[in-house]
Structure 1
Amino acid sequence: MLPGGPPADTPADRALRVRLRALRELVALSRARLPEPALAEAGRLLAEAAERDRLTRLYTTVAIAGATGSGKSTLFNTLAGGGIAETGVRRPMTASPHSCAWEVERGGGPSPDALLDRLGVQPRRRRRAHRADPALRGLVLLDLPDHDSALLEHRREADRLLARADAVIWLLDPEKYADALLHDHYLRAFAGHAEVSLVVLNQIDRLPTEATEAVLDDVRRLLDERGVAVGEHGEPGAGVLAVSALTGQGMGELRRALAELVASREAPALRLAADADGTTRRLRPLCVAESGTTPVGLTEEARAAFEERLAAAVGAPAAGAAAERGWLRRAERICGTPWGQLVTALAERRAARRGEPVALTGRARGLREQPPVVSRPALEEAVRRLTEEVTADLPEPWAASVRRVARQGASEVPPALEGPPAARGSSGRRRVPWSGRQPGTRASRVPGAPRPPRPVWWSAAAVGQGVFLTLHLLGLGWLALAALGRPVAGVVLPAGLLVAGALGAPLLAWACRLAAVGPARAWGRQEEERLRSAATAVGRARVLEPVAAELVRYREVREQWFIASGGEPLTPR
């Protein structure tokens, strides 16, 4: 890389880019499903990362944060090699941030001004280092207002800059090194940023050597209790140093630590990666179930169970049984005895006159063209049991989303299956049979029930019943003539005709009833399957497919969360 040229991507940069891409995909997939504050935090992180990526990575911004009187400005001036920040006994002293930049290349090199504009440092408070230490080239040092200042605007300014600096020097002093505000409000919150943090005990010139070591041990203990990893023995974590900005004691070690931090060019990526850790940690309950197991999803068993309940909701089994009974009644109407047909016809006429329902026969074909009626309670129960099964392993926001999608689809099922006939309107047009399809609908409705086929043997049986009726009437008339004293050729033949007609008709009707059982069952199964298929098609299109799509979206979000949190993808890509 040429001096001043664009730096090559570091491993931290490449890893961060993958994580941020996954987080961006997660946010896009989760809109209208996850709470807005959670997505807003992820959006702010993505915006911060994009803004930092547009600026030069040749410079690393390091903020000096500390309490009132900890010596921030003195340390700042000592590192800068001159009096830049104002020091004194009046508190609070630092009101606005100062900056000092160690230029990467003198004359014509890249400028840190864009970074300082992003941080909101006023131009008149920007300085260049008096002693251009080559080891510190690329460092932009910031002197922040006191985080415990009595003035609220100072505290807010310190918090704003801490949220944007690439790295932080937490400056402690022997008197307030265990301050609860610093450790609980700041260091605990920055526990995930240990790799870009330096904890520096200042003013050690006021302490004996053995007291300095004891205070440093206590500082390490306090950091460990707050979950801040301490970088010792080559392990990643926060560096813990002791210096005296006034006498220069320990400043060489601090300069080396800053030089290593700046030379790696990884601080901006490590800082954003730590921010991503916090964001994904807070997103975990919304993207991954507590059990951590992969959700079962919409299995074939769940689909089959829902389709079976939906078929029951539209009355498919009952329709099949009714169709079977209707076939048998129609067979009885055509193949039954003439006297039985006469009695049935008279009974139907009286029932119709009283407004009672008429049996499904050849004279009531219009009833077969009525659309199915969906049982709303049965449909709701089918949807409830489906969602209970498929959302058992989902986080609550996604379970609620699946339930919402399923309920919305279920509300479209009855209109898709129920198609009332076009009633006579003001125009006086006649009623047309329900055809199962209405203009403007995306999916076909249930087709109108076909008329049952008329077997050939029904016609033969009807002819046979006519023959037996003729024989019966002929024998009866012949015997009536004999009873009136008219000359006839005996009574044996007419009696035989009467008996043949009287016995043959019931026997033929009984045989036809036996023969009709098999076809009636087949017709009932056909009718049941017709309604079942129609209900299944609508249920899949309106409920199962949207639910499956929502579950696929959740699986993708879950996978993107694992990538954004620094893990590996769950499925090969």
Structure 2
Amino acid sequence: MSGLRDRVGALRGRRAEEEVPVDAPALAERLAALREAVALGGERLDPSAVAAAGPVLDRADERLRLGSDRTVVALAGATGSGKSSLFNALSGLPIAQVGARRPTTSVSTACVWGPEPAEELLAWLEVPRRHRTERESALDGDDEADLHGLVLLDLPDHDSTADAHRLEVDRLVRLVDLLVWVVDPQKYADDALHARYLRRLAGHDDVVLMALNQVDRLGAEDAAAAEGDLRRLLVEDGLPGADVLAVSARTGQGVPALRERLADAVAARAVALRRTAADLEQVRGALLAGTADGVVVPTAGEVPGAGELVRALGAAAGVPAVVDAVEADTRRRAARRTGWLPLRWTGRLRREPLRRLGLAPREDAGGAPGGAELVVSSVPAPTPSQRAAVDLAGRHVAAEAGRPLPERWRGAVRAAAAPAGGDVADALDRALVGVELPRPTPRWWAVAGVLQALLAAAALAGLLWLVLLGAAAWLQLPPVPVPAVGPERTDGTRVLPLPTVLLVGGLLGGLLLSAVTARVAAVTARRARRTAQERLDAAVRTVADGAVLAPVAAVLAEHERVRAGLLPGGGGRASSASGRRGRAH
């Protein structure tokens, strides 16, 4: 017994620590938070928990509306437990029919104490008018004043062979404020009672009271043993705080103590609120089991696997081909502006890299020169391997983001990470069409071009000069003095004829300048490639965010909003969830 007492004490202590003050406004706020969580969670929560929550929330809403001035107490029990006899003993009137035949009580009977209006409450309980009794009369004086506000119900037998009787018990067990289960020493451990009712009321300790009836048939030692065994069963049922009273409707033993407990409950005017709080807590626990703790809500860019997805989408959209074309186009234009003039014409034999991909330079599209804009997307369709890479990256995002979530939430993450393929392809096309690619034209290109022109002119001048000299010699005309440069010979003449210097110097100078400018142009081309990569990656990331990453992050955020609404004190549900954003690992 000491072990049982320790276990009961531990459970009561833990529940006391978790207890939230019960008042109607706080319960109304908690009810609204649960409704919002159910609506937001939808199919992602446990369907059985959602289905069970609806009627409970409706019942709580209606009970709060009816107020807590009246306390509804129900006597429930099996056939032969003596609950109708106990009902008559508490009321002091022979209201309920008493008998040994099975079943005896066929419909709920109500006894009402006090002048407070009870019509609307009894109508909600669906107690027929002919089964309602007003307890007090002028002859009672103040004898019944301590029970003013009490509505006492005698329920049908929960083990009745008539289905209608069991359904009536099931209905009212969910509606009343305080349940007094009347059991006898022979059937207090009946599994029909514990499995069908008491275990489903786990957590309702404050609104469940066990009346162990017919103890007059037992000796003191046997009665104490039965009471102790019943307390043990209650702990196993999840009701460690439920009290047990030993009574005898026949002899009156324990009836005054039970009546005093009912009077205390009526005076407190809080039993209805405690029952509602226990119901909401049970709903909250069942719904909360469909969520997970410790889920970090990332931004779209922080969703795990975002980088891999962007790279896969970029490859499928042809970004590598585009950035290669931008680099090649920059090199080609630099060669046309600064390359060796005798070979520049060969560049016209190759189609422009941007045009091969259907990317028209902006000046060709009627705009100002100096840039290129994607005006059409003719990048080849993604290959099967590229499509597979995108699918794999999307599944990786879903797997990583949904890893800490329950299965139904993981399914929602997978659905968010798997948009229609055609929609993503169209979005990528539109995004790439709007990207302006760099098409640099540095000023030094013009300077190098002028130098190339001057060197070519010098080479051409030297060539023409030599041709004229050769023609004059062929025609045996008188020799024409030719200027020379370089070191002087002993006879005073120079080593290098000027026409030869112009020709050879112009050709070699042009080749050397072309080699230098090609290296510098390569740096410019690589810079243009990086810029294009950044701009295209940004466009692809925008698509990835809108099509996959943002929907995945939204599911995680909704999960946290749902969980925040289900946690104790969940009135600040949205702000609480938004405050848990952090960097995903």
Work out whether the TM-score is over 0.5.
Answer: yes
Instruction: Output one character per residue of 1:229-278: Cα deviation in whole Å (capped at 9) or x when no partner.
Output: 1xxxxxxx222111111222221111111111221111111112221222
Amino acid at match of 1:39: V
Q: Corresponding residue for 2:564?
A: 559
In structure 2, what is the Cα distance between the partners aligned to 1:559 and 1:524?
Answer: 47
CA distance 1:483–1:452, change in 2 (3 Å):
farther
The equivalences for 1:72-471 within 5 A come to: 72-103=83-114, 105=115, 110-129=116-135, 133-229=144-240, 237-287=241-291, 289=292, 292-295=293-296, 297-298=298-299, 302=303, 305=307, 309=311, 314-316=317-319, 319-345=322-348, 347-348=349-350, 369=374, 370-371=376-377, 373=379, 376-408=387-419, 412-419=423-430, 446-449=434-437, 451-453=439-441, 455=443, 456-464=446-454, 466-468=456-458, 470-471=460-461
Instruction: Output one character per residue of 1:482-534: Cα deviation in whole Å (capped at 9) or x when no partner.
Output: 68556464895554444334423322322321332332233222222322333
CA contact (8 A) 2:359 2:377 kept: no
CA distance 1:536–1:273, change in 2 (3 Å):
same
Q: What is the CA distance between 1:155 and its match in structure 2?
A: 1.0
Q: What is the CA distance between 1:64 and its match in structure 2?
A: 1.0
Provide the identity percentage: 40
TM-score, L = length of structure 2 = 0.78
In structure 2, what is the Cα distance between the partners aligned to 1:343 and 1:360?
Answer: 22
1:500 pairs with 2:500: no
Q: Corresponding residue for 1:523?
A: 528
In structure 2, what is the Cα distance between the partners aligned to 1:251 and 1:54?
Answer: 32
Q: Which moved more, 1:308-317 or 1:562-571?
A: 562-571
CA distance 1:360–1:558, change in 2 (3 Å):
closer
The alignment's C-alpha RMSD in Å is: 3.7
Instruction: Output one character per residue of 1:523-546: Cα deviation in whole Å (capped at 9) or x when no partner.
Output: 222222322333334444454444
Q: What is the CA distance between 1:20 and its match in structure 2?
A: 1.7
Amino acid at match of 1:43: G
1:45 pairs with 2:34: no
CA contact (8 A) 2:452 2:513 kept: no
Q: What is the CA distance between 1:101 and its match in structure 2?
A: 0.8
In structure 2, what is the Cα distance between the partners aligned to 1:178 and 1:540?
Answer: 59
Q: What is the SS of the residue equivalent to 2:204?
A: helix
CA distance 1:361–1:394, change in 2 (3 Å):
closer
In structure 1, what is the Cα distance between the partners aligned to 2:250 and 2:410?
Answer: 60
Q: Which blocks of at least 5 consecutive residues in structure 2 are unaligned?
A: 1-20, 366-371, 483-496, 580-585
In structure 2, what is the Cα distance between the partners aligned to 1:240 and 1:567?
Answer: 39
In structure 2, what is the Cα distance between the partners aligned to 1:46 and 1:360?
Answer: 61
Amino acid at match of 1:348: R
CA contact (8 A) 1:328 1:513 kept: yes
Q: What is the SS of the residue equivalent to 1:453?
A: coil
In structure 1, what is the Cα distance between the partners aligned to 2:406 and 2:463?
Answer: 81
In structure 1, what is the Cα distance between the partners aligned to 2:360 and 2:186?
Answer: 101
Q: What is the CA distance between 1:162 and its match in structure 2?
A: 0.8
Amino acid at match of 1:460: V
CA contact (8 A) 2:46 2:287 kept: no
Q: Corresponding residue for 2:16?
A: none
CA distance 1:227–1:277, change in 2 (3 Å):
same
Q: What is the CA distance between 1:469 and its match in structure 2?
A: 5.5
In structure 1, what is the Cα distance between the partners aligned to 2:426 and 2:471?
Answer: 67
Q: Which moved more, 1:301-310 or 1:85-94?
A: 301-310
In structure 1, what is the Cα distance between the partners aligned to 2:441 and 2:161?
Answer: 94
Amino acid at match of 2:450: A
CA contact (8 A) 1:200 1:240 kept: yes
Q: Which blocks of at least 5 consecutive residues in structure 1 are unaligned?
A: 1-9, 230-236, 420-435, 438-444
Q: Corresponding residue for 2:9?
A: none
CA contact (8 A) 2:203 2:282 kept: yes
Q: What is the CA distance between 1:454 and its match in structure 2?
A: 6.0
Amino acid at match of 2:334: A
CA distance 1:269–1:340, change in 2 (3 Å):
same
Q: What is the SS of the residue equivalent to 2:538?
A: helix
The equivalences for 1:46-61 within 5 A come to: 46-61=57-72
Q: Which moved more, 1:117-126 or 1:48-57?
A: 48-57
CA contact (8 A) 2:110 2:131 kept: yes
CA distance 1:359–1:240, change in 2 (3 Å):
closer
In structure 1, what is the Cα distance between the partners aligned to 2:358 and 2:516?
Answer: 22
In structure 1, what is the Cα distance between the partners aligned to 2:357 and 2:570?
Answer: 69
CA contact (8 A) 2:24 2:64 kept: no
Paired positions, count? 521
CA distance 1:266–1:209, change in 2 (3 Å):
same
Q: What is the CA distance between 1:62 and its match in structure 2?
A: 1.0
Instruction: Output one character per residue of 1:41-65: Cα deviation in whole Å (capped at 9) or x when no partner.
Output: 3232221111111214211111111
